[in-house]
Amino acid sequence: MSVTVKIMERKGSSFLEKIYLFEIFKGMRVTLGHLWRNLCDNSRLYVRHYPEVKPEITPRWRGRHRLTTHEDGTVKCVACFMCQTNCPAKCIMIEAGERMDGKSEKVPVRFDIDLLECIYCGYCVEACPMDAIRMDTGIFSVTSYDRESVFVGIDELLATKGAFDEEEYKKGGA
């Protein structure tokens, strides 16, 4: 394999460049040009108007988790502990109990995810044999003023709906 060598011209060696002052004003012209343009017309901003304008999230994005439900609203999770076993961050804490709705025998009575410990690797989603846990809520920013509110329980995980339709989600390789 031949190597192409490109010799770069070293800048900054001319007299004008060496006295800096002229170059500083050249730089300021660019900066002030941006400022002027933004002041005149805000819609031509080079960056996104976050948080007013949210980025578009693809269905494959691994956002905050949710627990899915059957069509009748009962939880799909059967507390098999596959996600907890597979979790490299050990952020999932499950407690299993007897299930009474006839769907299965086992149900999680407690399903906590410590989002501060989660590394959003998606291993839990891959391990799940029931498609009960997904990371398709589209929530990419998990911020809070206290630790307790980012320790999400089963109710919160069940309450959040998926941000994409089933077909789009399945296209993502799920």
The token pair that represents 68 in the structure block: 């899915």
Residue 85 is a binding residue for other proteins (CB under 8 A) = yes
Strands (E) located in the chain: 66-67, 92-98, 106-114, 133-134, 151-152
* Interface segment toward other proteins; rule CB under 8 A; list 7-15, 65-73, 99-107, 155-163: 99-107
Residue 75 is a binding residue for other proteins (CB under 8 A) = no
Smallest distance, other proteins to C-beta of residue 162, A? 22
Q: Are strands 106-114 and 66-67 parallel, antiparallel or unpaired?
A: unpaired
Q: In a 10 Å sphere around its CB, with 0-12 CB exposed, 13-18 middle and 19+ buried, how is residue 118 labelled?
A: buried
Q: Are strands 92-98 and 106-114 parallel, antiparallel or unpaired?
A: antiparallel
Count of residues of this chain found to bind other proteins when the rule CB under 8 A is applied: 16
The phi-psi region of residue 165 (left if phi > 0; otherwise alpha if psi is between -120 and 50; otherwise beta) is beta
Nearer to other proteins, 62 or 103 (CB): 103
Give the strand order in the sheet containing 92-98.
92-98, 106-114, 151-152
Residue 118 is a binding residue for other proteins (CB under 8 A) = no
Smallest distance, other proteins to C-beta of residue 150, A? 16
The token pair that represents 154 in the structure block: 């089963």
Residue 115 is a binding residue for other proteins (CB under 8 A) = no
Within 128-157, which residues bind other proteins (CB under 8 A)?
Answer: 129-130
Residue 106 is a binding residue for other proteins (CB under 8 A) = yes
The token pair that represents 96 in the structure block: 């299993």
Smallest distance, other proteins to C-beta of residue 131, A? 12
Residue 89 is a binding residue for other proteins (CB under 8 A) = no
Residue 70 is a binding residue for other proteins (CB under 8 A) = no
Nearer to other proteins, 80 or 158 (CB): 80
Interacting residues toward other proteins by CB under 8 A:
78-82, 85, 90, 93, 96-98, 104-106, 129-130
